Amino acid sequence: MTDPTASAAAPPPPPPGSFAAGALVIETCLKTIPSAPGVYRMLDKAGGVLYVGKAKNLKKRVVAYTRAERIPVRIQRMVALTVAMEIVTTHTEAEALLLEANLIKRLMPRYNILLKDDKSFPYILVTGDHAWPQLVKHRGARSRPGQYFGPFASAGAVNQTLGYLQRAFLLRSCSDSVFENRTRPCLLFQIKRCSAPCVDRIAPDAYRHLVDQARAFLSGQSQAIQQELARRMEEAAEAMAYEEAAVIRDRIRALSRILARQDINMPGIEEADVVALHQAGGQACIQVFFFRSGCNFGNRSFFPSQTQDQTAEDVLAAFLAQFYDDKTPPRDILLSAPLETADQALLTEALSHKAGHKVTISAPRRGEKRKLLDHAADNAREALGRRLAESSAQQTLLRGLGALFALDEAPRRVEVYDNSHIQGSNAVGGMIVAGPEGFLKGEYRKFNIRSEEITPGDDYGMMREVLTRRFKRAQKEDPDRGGGQWPDLVLIDGGGGQLAQAEAVLAELGITDVPLVAISKGPDRNAGRERFHLPGRPAFSLPPNDALLYFLQRLRDEAHRYAIGSHRLRRAKALGASPLDEIPAIGARRKKALLHHFGSARGVAGAGVADLAAVEGISAALAQKIYDFFHPV
């Protein structure tokens, strides 16, 4: 007889991988989540980050994920995969927004709107760490002292502008080491692109005036600079100093070229980014025009992912937060669509704090600014149309590869491998990746060959090392193959021998389901006569005009280009290295002092202890250490 007082049996736990299981994980976490601003992360069973979000009140935001009826199907799938959560509290919601953007860019969670921007923007830098400032292109961390002007949309735009600026202001572009070792003017002085301060062809005060003019011009005072030069040209002509007048005339023409080169210029816009969005076919394109110093510095297209079911407001808000994560926001940001009031206020506060000045975000509905936004939107629509057309063609080619190589389905990730070296020196292996959207350059990897057991020039040994490191890492970081790190097809630049090496590597690692294909050049290494080698099948060729042959050539050539480029960078770095870099306690400043004093690393190596100690910054003990480095017992 059943005891009516006995407690009811506990309900069985929900099955793993179900929404109920994920919701239970979140409900358990809610017991310790504070009602404070912060950032939360959803984690899967492999520890990978599924989603990063921010909230003004973490508890109120996170509890929404436990109610299936209030969230879309895509987010329900994310909850079903969630097995753990991580929480970071912040002082303010604006701080949480900046942290969220940083984490999204670094972790690339699969359920966030992602801005895949793997290229930093170039700037023009007027250096501030030398008595004779340089005018140079700069990319990367803005750690060098000086004034930065930009960003420019492309390196080409910077290079073209720099060429005109050299003609207009005659500032040096050479490195400090070249500058300090010159004994006569270089070619740039002869073609009137430099005033040759390295050999005292210009007085310090006159050079500083040129630097001030360049800074003023790049800061937007172009008319004032042109007027000053025009006045000086007239004065020189009246004094019959015709050669000086001609030099100033050429400088004015160079400045006019810079201003005339701009595709679009808008009166009244000094410092602004114009951001326009176009959505179609489940994809989105954001076009950004950069206006600095009253000039258009170019434009660039961005294609954020995970935008299929997102509104324009959500896409723009996510884009702005991630885009300015590593860039200084301008004073004005013009948008093609207005943001939600709360999102706009939060972004304004966060970006203003980051920039150190007030940032205004607006969506003009009429006037010249609206026309500019419409122009940017037209560019976004055209860029997205081109991308959709290319994507459709790419998917057709990938389906063709699947049929050609008897794959179960069209590959979504194709990895191509190649090696590059010169007689075995500075050997580098390169891996490029292609998918439905074309080349995925953010996924490219280079492998510096470091095994001492490989005989220089042993291409088979290099390929074994590259593939072993690549797939061991994939096994470690993505054992369940849910993180998108595993290829659907591997192409190797080589013949049957390289294919055999690849098969052996995968067999040693216990990998049996990654398709392998080797591409050899064919007779006389002629393009169009390539041979394709597959395990267990005779090698074959494709007709010369076959679209798949052309596609495979593009993939192989891209891998070849990337491997050669990586090898050249490594070789150049090795050629530029100095033995002084290997001596402990010799940093950049002491190295510079030694090279200036002795003229070269060879001169340092031949110096005595007393001579070394005579160099500024080199103590007697350090001089002995340097001497011992070059004269081991």
Q: What percent of the chain has pLDDT over 90?
A: 34
Residue 432 has which token pair? 């490029």
Q: Say yes or no to pLDDT of 264 above 70.
A: no
454: helix, coil or strand? coil
Q: For residue 160, which of 137, 179, 142 has the smallest C-alpha distance?
A: 137
pLDDT at residue 83, rounded to an integer = 93
| Structure tokens belonging to residue 486 | 């595993």
Predicted confidence (pLDDT) at residue 253 exceeds the cutoff of 50: yes
For residue 116, pLDDT over 90 is answered with no
Q: What is the pLDDT of residue 16?
A: 81
Residue 140 phi, psi dihedral angles, 5° rounding:
110, -160
Among candidates 282, 312, 287, 311, which has minimal Cα distance to 388? 282
- Whole-number pLDDT of residue 526: 55
User: Given a cut of 80, is residue 9 above it in pLDDT?
Assistant: no
Number of Cβ within a 10 Å radius of residue 301: 16
Q: Which domains does the chain have, with CATH numbers?
A: 19-107 (3.40.1440.10), 122-261 (no CATH), 272-386 (3.30.420), 414-574 (3.30.420.340), 579-630 (1.10.150.20)
pLDDT of residue 608: 84
Calculate what percentage of the chain has a pLDDT beyond 70. 93
Q: Is 59 helix (H, G, I), strand (E, B) or coil?
A: helix
Mean pLDDT of 325-345: 91
3 state DSSP class of 241 = coil
Cα radius of gyration (the chain): 30
Q: Is the pLDDT of residue 456 over 80?
A: no
| Alpha-carbon gap, residue 137 to 297, rounded angstroms | 14
CA dihedral 382, 388, 394, 399 (to 10 degrees): -160
> What residues contact 336, with CB distance under 8 A and at least 6 apart?
275, 276, 277, 312, 316, 363, 373, 376, 377
Mean pLDDT of 468-484: 86
Of 382, 409, 266, 431, nearest to 334 by C-alpha is: 266
Task: Inform me whether the pLDDT recorded for 80 exceeds 90.
Answer: yes
Q: What is the pLDDT of residue 347?
A: 93
pLDDT band at 1 (very low <50, low <70, confident <90, very high): very low
pLDDT of residue 269: 76
Instruction: Report residue 484's pLDDT band, with 50, 70 and 90 as the boundaries.
Output: confident
530 close to 469: Cβ distance less than 8 angstroms: no
How crowded is the C-beta side of 115, counted as CA atoms within 13 Å?
A: 25
Q: How confident is the model at residue 298 (pLDDT cuts 50, 70, 90)?
A: confident
Alpha-carbon distances of 252 from 108, 125, 224, rounded to whole Å: 48, 21, 12
Q: Examine the pLDDT at 255 and tell me if it is beyond 70.
A: yes
CA 371 to chain centre: 31
| Total number of residues shown for the chain | 633
Is residue 346 helix, strand or coil? Answer: helix
pLDDT in tens, 598-622: 777 777 888 888 888 888 888 888 8
User: pLDDT tens, 271-281?
Assistant: 899 999 998 87
Give 7 or 73, the one with higher predicted confidence: 73
The pLDDT of residue 527 is: 61
Task: Using a cut of 0.75, tell me whether the model's pTM lies above it.
Answer: no
pLDDT confidence of residue 630: 80
Strands (DSSP E) found in 460-513: 489-493
Hey, what are 609's tokens? 């202890």
CB 351 within 8 A of CB 320: yes
Give me the chain's average pLDDT, please: 85
**Of residues 208 and 599, more confidently modeled:** 208
pLDDT of residue 605: 81
Among residues 401, 369, 209, 351, which one has the least CA distance to residue 275?
369
What is the reported pLDDT for 6?
Answer: 47
Distance (Å, whole) CA 461 – CA 343: 55
Task: For residue 451, name the pLDDT band (cuts at 50, 70, 90).
Answer: confident
Closest among 100, 110, 138, 102 to 48, alpha carbons compared: 110
Residue 77 pLDDT more than 80? yes
Least confident of 198-202, 235-239, 451-455: 451-455
Tokens representing residue 447 in the block: 């492998």
How far is the C-alpha of 444 from the C-alpha of 446, rounded, in Å?
A: 7
